[in-house]
Amino acid sequence: MAGGNDLIEAAREEIVGMAKEGMAHPSTKPVLTGAAIGAVAGVVLPFVSIPVGLVAGAGIMLYKRLRP
């Protein structure tokens, strides 16, 4: 399953780039926006907690950045 390994490697590279460059990295702002939206969903929806919503929102946006 080469596709899965490629996605994991791309995600790792993207996360390392965001960590090194901070807000200057092009993926940082969309991923943080997704995290914020997920956290708000965690407040509004009774079956989703804030941390789960935050991680899910950030994960979805990161995936969308990697596989548009």
Query: What's the pLDDT tens digit per position in 41-58?
Result: 999 988 889 999 999 999
At 2 the pLDDT is 54
At 3 the pLDDT is 60
- What residues in the chain have per-residue pLDDT under 70? 1-4, 68
What is the pTM for the complete model shown?
A: 0.82
At 45 the pLDDT is 87
What residue numbers bound the domain in which 61 lies?
2-66
How does DSSP classify residue 47?
A: T
How many domains, the chain? 1
For 25, the 3-state DSSP assignment is coil
How does DSSP classify residue 8?
A: H
